[in-house]
Structure formats: structure tokens, C-alpha cells
Chain A
Amino acid sequence: MSPLKVHYLGDDPDFIKSIQEFIQLKKLLVTFSHSMEDPLSICLDISPLIIFLDFTSFTCWDLYIRQTCFIKRTTRFKPVLFVGLFKDEEELKKNDFIFASGIQFSFIKGGENQSLFRDSLYIAFDEKISYPNYAVAKGLLQTITAGICSTVTEIHPGGVTIETDLETGQSQISIVQKLFPGLVKIEAINDPELAVRYPMLSSIESLFPVADPWEDDTESSILPETVETWIDLHKEHLIDKRDSVFIVDSNFSVFKDAFKIDNESQLHTLYFEALADTRGFIEKVRPPLIFIDVNEQDEEPNSLHQAEKLIELIRNQESYVPILILSNMATSSSALQKFFNYNFVICLPERLAGGMIEKFSDLYLKKKLNKSKSFTYTLSPSSNLRTLDVNFEITVIRLTEHEIIFKSDVSLPMFTVLHFIHPVEFYATLVPHFLDNAESRDERIRIGLIHGVSEKKLELLRQFVNLLIVKPTLDFKTDIKTHLIPAKEEKKDETKSEKKEDVFLELETPKKVDKVMNEIPKRKVRFQGKSKL
């Protein structure tokens, strides 16, 4: 069995030391490396399954976020777990777009590193790492709101396109967005379709609820002029993206060049390892240019046979005629056009090269830009305005300081990141059940690993869990405020009496037991539905 690869992108010697010690202590078959290379280079050169991105070590956040989005959109690098490390909670909160950018776990530095390593290894490798026994509040039946960390991808005067991890056919959701703070909710107008801009599962079209001409903007409606003014005011932060190009290349030889085009030009670039992966995306995106580095053998994923199937698919689309650029072809464009009976094919004798893609793309843009004016904008991947929560109700069954176990009828893919406000604000990444039991066989019962909380908040959560053990009926939304937070403040005030009324203060010492459990049984892939990794 080859070692599992873990990479740290950062320059914190203490973090490096602690992860090395952890690997040694647990005798893990893990190859650890660290560097300050960019994520794209790390993926191509090292191909690790976990990358710790230490946001305290570099300043080029925007570039790295764009790269993680690009990387995680590909099938090859989809299983890579990106973990964001932050200085403090405030910084994470300010940059919560990371969870809609392919980063699926987070950590506030200064916290317990071992827990981070265990959780990361469990998410990425299904690795058997023994967890401590955490105090568990059981038998809860608390209904609270969970939000799927999602993103706005396009804004146009009539509405927005949202990408999220919601599966199709879902109901009872609400979308809480930040673009127009006064407008609380916007409604989805159709069933989710494939997500194309961000590494999410689906995209939802939604319309702004337009107010009647005699009404003002309200919580549930907006004036068309408000949207237009907003677009005008934010123009410098908006990106005018036109079309998409698809690049199909099993060797990933032009991956960096493709990112450059995606990052610097007005074209979106979608990279596919195999032609078969483009199905669905072709129908939805209808890219005007498709580059294919053709494999020589018929059984390979990007063979001429597969290209022929793609042309069949294209032919079945109404009013859609893309130009296909096939590289590594000994034949001429004319021969292939006749063979395919499709005139819009160009053959390149060489392997696919970045320079060539750029030339074709530039020429396309020159022709296209002269002709149309776009009214659709996208926001920068590192703009916090683009993040939103797609909310739904859940029933919490169990809670520890480490995980939340809840029941929900909403179907979500594994490794989705959820945002919780109650009992304290935290993020949770959905993972497979640790144990094979009745609970794990119920598709509606899910486990989320809690992250993105500071030590201070974790202590508060720990205390609340201890409270819940005694009083499982405590309300997540109100009781933490009415009991725990004022009590803590009171405790700080030394002039006040030491006598406390509530039972929870007696339980303030964490119930966490350091006794290490025996190995957690290896996770079986028993979850239904889709996975983000």
C-alpha cells in the first residue's frame, strides 16, 4: 500500500512539527511534505490528498481561492481535501467564501491540532484514527436551521444564479443572501441543475421578487432600480464573463494554461479529464469552443470514438454549433469534417499546448466582444458578497463539542459544509457514520464534524453540551444566552458572589475523557447519494 500524501502550504514551524509528531506517534503510513508553492503546482507535482492551506502564511488569498475552485472542479482533484487554517474566528468569518470554493474543513490556529489531524484524515482517507470520548448530549429533539454554504455565481437585473450542494427535487428551503441586505429571502424558480462555476453539486436559478410599482423595497420584495443601481455601484467588483471553453485532456498537460485563461480572460474554462465527464455540462453550458487532446488508443477516454459520441450529443442540441479543436491528430481538418459529417472541426497535429488554446480563445473573444453586450456579471471568487446560506430545518439528535448528529429529510452529498448559528456559530462537514449501527443505516441521520470555532467558543459549546446532558430540553437558540453566556460574564466579575444557581456551572469542567477509544471500525461506504470528494 502506497503512503497517503499530506501537504502543508505554509511556513509555520510549530504546525509542521506538530503534524510530523502526530504522524510518528500514530505510526501512520503518511508522506508529509510542506512548501510555499501555489495549490495548482502542489496538486500537479505532488498530488496529495490533503492540503493544509495556512492563510496566516501568505497574502495572495484571491489567487489561491481561484486556484482551489479551479482544482476542485476537476474529477481528478475532486478528492483532494483542502483545509483552511486561520488566525482567528473573525478572519474566517470575513472569508467564509472559502466554503464555497472547494475548502471543506477549517481550523482556528491555537486550537488542538490533534483533533484537526484526526478529522482531516478521517474525511480524506477514511483513516482509522482513534478519537477521544467526548461528552455526548443524547436524546435531543431540537429543531434548528442549518445552512448549506453556497455561492452566487451570476447576477443579472432579474435575479441571481446560485450554486449549492442541494440535490434535485428538494423543497422547504430558503435562500438567505447578502447582496441586498434588506431583502431577506429569494425563491428558487426551478429544480437544481448541474453546478458549473464552483465546486458545488447543483445550480439554482432564482428571481428577485420585484415590488409593485407603487411599493417600496421590503423584506420580501425589491425594486428593479435597486438592482440596477447596485450593479452600477459595484461594477468594479463585478466580472463580465461571457462564454465558457471546455478543455478535455487526460494528461493535465495544459492545466496551468487553462487556469490562466480562466483567471485572466473573459472566458470561463472548464477542465475535464475524460470526454464522458462533459456530458450534462455540454447541454447546460453549451461552450462555443471545445478543445480535446485526442488519445491514440480506442479504449482510452478521449479516443476518436468518444469524440464521435460527443458530436452526436451536440447534433441533438437545438441551435448549438460549437467549434471542436482536436489535437494530436495526424489527419487534416477537412478529412475529419467529412468523417464526422460536422463542419466545425479543426485538427492540430501537435499535442494540446497553452499557447494554441490562448490564440483560439483570443480570436474568439475578439469576434464575440464586438458583437454583444453582456448584462450578466459574476463576483470575484474572493468576494464575501457572493456567499449565502441555503437554509433548511434539521432536528438535532446528539451533540458533542466535536460532532453534531441530526435528522433531516433534505438530501445532501457527503462532505458538504453546513453553517450553524445555534447553539454557537460553527461550521460542520458531513462525514460518513463512524459506526455501523441502526443510526448509520438511516439515510436521514447525518453526522457533521464541527470546525471553524475558536478555543473560547469550543469551551462554551462544551459547557452547553454538559448542560444538555442534564437538561436535554434546553433551547439551542435561547438557553445558551440566558444561562451560559451571562453566567460566564458573571464569573469574570470577581466582586460578585461566587454562589451560582444553575447546575451547569458545576459541570463547567469539560467532560472530555482522554482515554483513547479502540480503533474506530473502518468506514464502509454505505451512504447513499452523492459525495463531494
Chain B
Amino acid sequence: MPKGNLLIVDDEPLLLKSLKANLEEYADNIFIAENGIEAMDIVGKEEIHCIICDINMPQMNGVEVIKRIRESGNDVPFIFYTGHGNRDLMFEAIKYGAFDFLDKPLFNGLEEVIAQGMKNGFNKGRDTTEDEKEIMSEYKRLLKELE
């Protein structure tokens, strides 16, 4: 069963390498970009189903990357990893439709979030009832938690 293509964007080559190695089982192809320009270039050429991106990068930060990609009409799921003090950037990223956030450097729940993001990106525009089902199941989960 096809899983789709993942793009990882980070200005730290070592982290890119390590993430790529850890996430291989979640995607058919993993692309890497060291900055926003490279990321935009890849998104322009390849069909990307999910992007994982550092929110805080020099020159072009993660919010700028999502903004430009959204402006090109692409609503691919964006997962940002954020560090302490990135609240304003997170707020901006939410406005552009960030799919999820991960804490850097622990990356708690990384695999689960990536799997969700890939699934969401791969099924995008195919079945809206699926989205509604997910929303209702999350709601049921919260109701149960409140009990």
C-alpha cells in the first residue's frame, strides 16, 4: 500500500540525516531540504504528502515556508518542531493551517504525528466523511476523558 512522500526541512544537516533514518518506514520517499528555498523547489517538482519543518531557521523561517507554499495553492500538512519561546511563530503557523507541533529536541510522539500527517496528506480531497469521523472520534475521546 503506498504511503506517500515526506519532505524534511531543517538547517542542521545532522538532524536531517537522523530524522530521515528514523522515519523511513512512514514514507515511500523522503526528501530533505536545508532551507526554505530548497524546500519550495522540491515541493514545486515532487508530489509531497507531508512536510516536517523546523519553525526556527535562519533567513527563511518555518512560517515563511508554509506561507509561501500556501500562497502557491498547496495545502500539504505541515508538522513543525518548535523550541521554547516560539509561541508567536506557532500562532502564525496555526493561521496558515499547521497540522501539528512537536517539541524539539525530544520529539515526543514523532512517529504517531508523522503517520497521521502522511495519512492526512495522502487522503487529502478524497473523502471528507473520513475527516468528520476523525473529528467525532476525537470528540468522543475527550468526552470519555472528562468522565
Contacts and interface: CB of A to CB of B under 8 A. Distances in A.
Interface of A: 288, 296, 304, 321, 323, 325, 330-336, 338-339, 343-344, 346-349, 359-360, 363-364, 367, 371
Contacts of B138: 333, 346
A332 B124 CA distance: 14
Contacts of A335: 93-94, 98-101
B90 interface: yes
A367 B144 CA distance: 9
25 contacts: A296-B95, A323-B146, A330-B75, A330-B97, A331-B99, A332-B98, A332-B99, A334-B99, A334-B100, A335-B98, A335-B99, A335-B100, A336-B94, A338-B100, A338-B101, A339-B91, A339-B94, A343-B142, A343-B145, A347-B135, A359-B136, A360-B139, A363-B136, A363-B143, A367-B147
A157 B97 CA distance: 51
B37 to A, nearest CB: 24
Contacts of B93: 335
Contact of B139 (A330, A346, A371): A346
Contacts, number: 65
A313 B93 CA distance: 24
A458 B101 CA distance: 72
Contact of A323 (B97, B99, B100, B143): B143
Contacts of A323: 139, 142-143, 146
Contacts of A296: 95
Contact of B143 (A332, A347, A367): A367
B31 interface: no
Given A323-B139, A334-B113, A339-B90, A344 B146 contact: yes
B69 to A, nearest CB: 13
Nearest to B90: A339
Contact of A333 (B97, B113, B135, B146): B135
B131 interface: yes
Q: How large is the interface on B (under 10, 10 to 19, 20 to 34, 35 or more residues)?
A: 20 to 34
Given A330-B97, A360-B139, A371-B147, 14 more contacts: A304-B91, A304-B94, A321-B146, A323-B139, A331-B99, A332-B120, A334-B116, A335-B93, A335-B98, A335-B100, A336-B94, A348-B135, A364-B143, A367-B143
B139 A339 contact: no
A277 B19 CA distance: 46
B140 interface: yes
Nearest to A348: B135
Nearest to B146: A321
Dominant secondary structure at the A interface: mixed
Nearest to A298: B95
Contacts of B135: 333, 346-348
A291 to B, nearest CB: 12
Contacts of A348: 135
Interface pairs A-B: 10 shortest CB-CB: A330-B97, A338-B101, A331-B94, A335-B100, A334-B100, A335-B98, A367-B143, A332-B99, A339-B90, A331-B97
Interface string B96-132: 1111110000000000010010001000000000010
Contacts of B120: 332
Contacts of A364: 143
Contacts of A349: 131
Contacts of B95: 296, 304, 330
Among B75, B91, B116, B135, chain A packs the most CB atoms within 10 A around the CB of: B135
A369 to B, nearest CB: 13
Nearest to A349: B131
Interface in B6-59: none
Nearest to A371: B147
Nearest to A368: B143
Nearest to A321: B146
A469 B112 CA distance: 86
Contacts of B116: 334
B146 A339 contact: no
Contacts of B87: 339
B140 A339 contact: no
A325 B139 CA distance: 9
Contacts of B98: 331-332, 335
A323 to B, nearest CB: 5
Contacts of B91: 304, 339
Contacts of B96: 330
B143 A346 contact: no
A330 B100 CA distance: 11
A121 to B, nearest CB: 46
Given A304-B95, A339-B91, A332 B147 contact: no
Nearest to B77: A332
A363 B142 contact: no
B51 to A, nearest CB: 14
A363 B139 contact: yes
Nearest to B138: A333
Nearest to B99: A332
Nearest to A366: B143
A321 B143 CA distance: 11
A364 to B, nearest CB: 7
B71 to A, nearest CB: 14
Contacts of A338: 100-101
A376 to B, nearest CB: 21
Contacts of A325: 139
Nearest to A364: B143
B97 to A, nearest CB: 3
B124 to A, nearest CB: 11
A349 to B, nearest CB: 7
Nearest to A297: B95
A403 B32 CA distance: 81
Contacts of A334: 99-100, 113, 116
A137 to B, nearest CB: 63
Contacts of B131: 349
Contacts of A339: 87, 90-91, 94, 101
